[in-house]
Structure 1
Amino acid sequence: MTLKIGVAGLGTYFGGMWASVFNQYAKSDLVAVCDLRPGRAEEVAGWYDGVKPLTSYDDLLASDADAIGVFTPGPLHAEHVIAALEAGKHVLSAVPTAWSLDECQSIIDAVERTGRKYMLAETPCYDPWVTKVRQMHAAGEMGEVFYVERTTFQDLSGPLMGNDYFSQADTPDVIYGKTKYTWRYGIPPFYYMEHSAGPILMALDDRMTEVTAYGSEEDDSEFVAKYGARYREPHGNPFMCETGLFRLAGGGVVNITIGFVAAFGKEFEPPTRLVGTKASYLIGADNDKLLTKSDTQVLDKPAQHRTLDASIADCADMENSAYVIQDFVQCILDDTPPPIDIYTAVSFTAAGLCGHQSAMEGRTVKIPNFSK
């Protein structure tokens, strides 16, 4: 049996990448792709046999697809996900899960009401270190993990943010009207929390309960000249960088920093640190380290414990997308819970939404428990 798939939101690369893996996977059949730009939909559909190019999301929902991949602009994810669920489709959604706590609850309600499956395409949760640390923690080898630190800086000043990269004709921006700016322009850094909190919470099988956060405002004249004061307008966000201390339900503390404009290349990610009473684990760019009170072991990067179907084995290096797609399709065919279901997904997202609220209001904010 194969699953019929429709993909919404093709972007310049991202959605098209997911469509290509769905098309290649032996257990899924890509039947339609949808994008507001007719040329882009026709281009991607033309790569494959029998794939319909669509420019209307309603037409995609009316198609014979069993499941929809939602890779549209972030602020529209909840709307598009709920519409797909209500149309009887299973959903794989890109991050962010939602744009507000109310939207988080609305998606949960739709999943429970329709009985369809929802999975978040949170690729860093498939990094091999997550499984290794999860196994060590579950076995008690790390003792009590009482402190975690994860910092992510991404330079979004180019294509991801927009700037002068896109022309008005090529990018009809459904959030701000027809502009050359993408939906990421001006978003609070903590609205992109899934990549930071997700792997930690999956590794520790925990959730965050409260946060105290701060933001770094950007008032540099060179920045304003390059990006414009308009950067703050779409979301009323004054922060280029946000830092928060998050309390875990298990008692530990997580220190997360996310920044979007920095003085280096595309991405800089200092080591992620998980500190325990028996052992600590450091995830570095080239190798990992396991530290105890008496020893430090430099480890090779852990191998991916999952095995890909032969039809997509050559997609192993595509940002973990093949592993996500394989799990998504298989959980539907087997009628099993998705590895990153809606309750897990909103636990990542709610932490970021509450973190930004804390930074804006200058107070500690409780994080709702959306657990089933």
Structure 2
Amino acid sequence: MLNRRSFLAIAGTTTASVLLAPGNAFAINRSGNRKKIRMGIVGGRFGASFHFHEHPDCMVEAVSDLREDRRQHLMQTYKCTKSYPSLTALLKDKNVEAVFIATPAPDHATHVIQSLKAGKHVLCAVPLALTLEDCRRVLETVKQTGLTYMMAETSYYRQQTISVRKLYRNGDFGTIFRAAGAYHHPGLEALYFDEDKKPTWRHGLPPMLYPTHCTAFLISVTGERLTRVSCMGWGDDSPILKKNVYKNPFWNETALFETDKGHPFKVEVDWRAAVRNAERAEWEGEKMSFYMAHTESDPKDNLIVRYADRVGYDDAGFIHKAPLTEPYKQELWWQTELLPAPLRHNSGHGGSHTFITHEFIDALIHNRKPAVDIYESLAYTVPGIVAHASALKGGERMKIPVFDPGR
């Protein structure tokens, strides 16, 4: 059983990046370097749910939102006295070194490119972009500027995902030959219209254009890339779906991906259905499998199944190998030395927000790539774009471009 004591004992003097990610991850600043990164926060809703003001190597220099009430909320949250009415205005502030873009998803590519060209490092909410063309534009801008881009993907830092990465690297799973991820958000139509009854960016958003909460579960553990997909969508004649800007007919989409290792990976993104609200995954291996709980409030549902060389019988009396099933007591990694002391508290999306905060700041302080860099972000985002195109063609099997150098 993996616990905090054994984890840290194994870690020794090795950084957490070696232990927790296929590539880079996060590492505590033990260098004594006390430079503070000066952040700008853009977007007064989701942008207010992070912890930059608590990080010992960061200060919030300025905030921005189009609405005055949200600017005030951001200033109160981050103990900041400077605000701007637009991203354009904030980017002119020479004291701001990096920005967190928490604006509507259709604006991400434009806002990221604008910020990079203004000389700012960028942390951006998910997804990277909504089209392949915009994905390529962001990639080219990151390469041209040489600045840091990181996507704030929460599933990467959920407590179970951190544990599964460690178990996988220890060899507990053997080969993970099949996996599944689900993002079930029934009732999302409540966010389709604002208080003035005007459509928001979420109105009719194709589910597979928001895939990263699922794709990160597999890719961040094994490092595989998704290379082909067949996807099916479901919709109805609801007037709520009519006349959306995406011309999307689907409430829910289900995709079967193939990885570059030849493994299947099923992804479900549902906006309207009789399903349990969930952001969860299942990792099935030759030696061990891990089944994630449906909710953070019911962590006892985390289960491990281990292969066992013992005889069992099914309900018809036929012989089989009987696996060992046990509950998994989830370590709360946010309580440990993996984070600076001020950030060792619970946070949004399964404890992930403090980890995202620290990873971005620490990457800038140490001049290294963040865990979810531009290539990892593309690997999480692009498969969903192609999956939606497949669904619009009745499930046609389609090839997914892979952007990583050397792949």
TM range (shorter): 0.7 to 0.9
Q: C-alpha distance in 2, partners of 1:49/1:138?
A: 40
Q: After the TM superposition, which of the residue ranges 275-284 and 63-72 deviates more from structure 2?
A: 275-284
> Corresponding residue for 2:355?
323
What secondary structure sits across from 2:303 in the alignment?
strand
Shift of 1:31: 1.2
Distance 1:23 1:357, change over 3 A: same
1:103-114 equivalent positions in 2, closer than 5 A: 103-114=134-145
Q: C-alpha distance in 1, partners of 2:338/2:171?
A: 26
> Corresponding residue for 1:349?
381
> Corresponding residue for 2:85?
55
Shift of 1:188: 0.4
> Corresponding residue for 2:328?
299
Distance 1:158 1:109, change over 3 A: same
The answer to whether the Cα contact below 8 Å between 2:112 and 2:122 also exists between their aligned partners in 1 is yes
Distance 1:341 1:306, change over 3 A: farther
The answer to whether the Cα contact below 8 Å between 1:211 and 1:364 also exists between their aligned partners in 2 is yes
The answer to whether the Cα contact below 8 Å between 1:130 and 1:200 also exists between their aligned partners in 2 is no
Q: Do structure 1's residue 365 and structure 2's residue 395 form an aligned pair?
A: no
Distance 1:209 1:271, change over 3 A: same
1:101-250 equivalent positions in 2, closer than 5 A: 101-157=132-188, 159-162=190-193, 166-168=194-196, 180-219=198-237, 223-224=238-239, 227=240, 229-230=242-243, 233-250=244-261
1:277-292 equivalent positions in 2, closer than 5 A: 277-285=286-294, 286-287=299-300, 288-292=302-306
Q: C-alpha distance in 2, partners of 1:47/1:290?
A: 39
- After TM superposition, the score normalised by the length of structure 1 is 0.87
Distance 1:47 1:250, change over 3 A: closer
1:196-228, Cα deviation, whole Å (9 max, x unpaired): 111221012111000001001122xxx43xx36
> Corresponding residue for 2:39?
5
**Number of equivalenced pairs:** 345
Shift of 1:152: 2.2
Q: Of the two, which has the highest radius of gyration?
A: 2
Q: 1:310 aligns with which of 318, 335, 341?
A: 341
The one-letter code matched in structure 2 to 1:38 is E
The one-letter code matched in structure 1 to 2:101 is V
Distance 1:135 1:121, change over 3 A: same
What secondary structure sits across from 1:262 in the alignment?
coil
Q: C-alpha distance in 2, partners of 1:255/1:36?
A: 39
> Corresponding residue for 1:35?
65
> Corresponding residue for 1:257?
268
The one-letter code matched in structure 2 to 1:356 is H
What secondary structure sits across from 2:191 in the alignment?
coil
What secondary structure sits across from 1:308 in the alignment?
coil
The answer to whether the Cα contact below 8 Å between 2:241 and 2:249 also exists between their aligned partners in 1 is no
Shift of 1:139: 3.4
Shift of 1:323: 0.9
Q: C-alpha distance in 2, partners of 1:334/1:118?
A: 14
Name the Cα RMSD after superposition.
1.9
What secondary structure sits across from 1:92 in the alignment?
strand
- After TM superposition, the score normalised by the length of structure 2 is 0.80
What secondary structure sits across from 2:171 in the alignment?
coil
Shift of 1:6: 0.4
Q: C-alpha distance in 1, partners of 2:279/2:156?
A: 17
**Identity rate of aligned residues, in percent?**
28
What secondary structure sits across from 2:348 in the alignment?
coil
Q: 2:284 aligns with which of 270, 275, 281?
A: 275
Q: C-alpha distance in 2, partners of 1:291/1:47?
A: 43
The answer to whether the Cα contact below 8 Å between 1:118 and 1:341 also exists between their aligned partners in 2 is yes
1:116-154, Cα deviation, whole Å (9 max, x unpaired): 101110111101222322233233332222211222210
Q: C-alpha distance in 2, partners of 1:65/1:247?
A: 42
Unmatched segments (≥5 aa) in structure 2: 1-34, 309-323
